Chain A
């Protein structure tokens, strides 16, 4: 049972553009929603995370938007750069619980 659905599977964005990746979850008990970034040959690394008591969290060029009623959240990358080219995973968990990952989005930023 896939509890976190992520789209799109792959994404190509021009340098300077906005990259948007979407995720939906099923378990209403989830209350922690991280995004991980993975470069080829490396393990995933935490990028940014949000809890459902806020609707948006911004860290530099990266923003998470959260819609609790729709059970959806998204990652926006502003002013996308070639160095942002990587695979991005959304995830969800209960606080301190098992983290369930989405299938990932391969992002390619055109120079």
Chain B
């Protein structure tokens, strides 16, 4: 089974520039998550999709972050304009669950490391 694919793996940008990250979840996984992992901390959920609808985006800084999941498969996370504090690893994860089928067993991608200078 192929894992969760993310790109790019690394990105360095100047503050106020924009950046986009792409995620391809495991085939058949209805739920997709974007997490932000700042160095030395645990992953923090930014947004959760169920198919192509948003389930939870309560911690997404909507003035600068946006995400979409077209056709319920791939997803893109965009940051515009970037701030220094956005330096982090952006993790995409997917799971089978939703609709009463059980606990959320997340499969994570390797992440996209963003450095904002």
Contact = CB atoms under 8 A, between A and B. Distances in A.
Interface stretch (B12-20, B38-46, B62-70, B75-83): B38-46
Secondary structure of the B contact surface, majority rule: loop
A23 B100 CA distance: 27
B89 to A, nearest CB: 9
B104 interface: yes
B91 interface: yes
Interface in B20-43: 40-43
B104 A103 contact: no
Given A43-B4, A44-B108, A45-B108, A96 B44 contact: no
Contacts of A97: 104
A104 B41 contact: yes
A93 interface: yes
Interface residues of A, number: 25
A104 B40 contact: yes
B110 A42 contact: yes
Contacts of A93: 103-104
B110 A98 contact: no
A103 B108 contact: no
B42 A89 contact: yes
Q: Max chain B CB contacts within 10 Å: which of A4, A34, A45, A99?
A: A99
Contacts of B56: 98
B105 interface: yes
A6 B43 CA distance: 13
B93 A96 contact: no
Contacts of A51: 103
Given A41-B110, A43-B109, A101 B44 contact: yes
Nearest to B58: A98
Contacts of B93: 43
A18 interface: no
Contacts of B105: 34, 46, 49
Q: Which 3 A-B pairs have the closest CB atoms?
A: A43-B108, A101-B42, A32-B103
Interface of A: 4, 6, 32, 34, 36, 41-46, 49, 51, 89, 91, 93, 95-99, 101-104
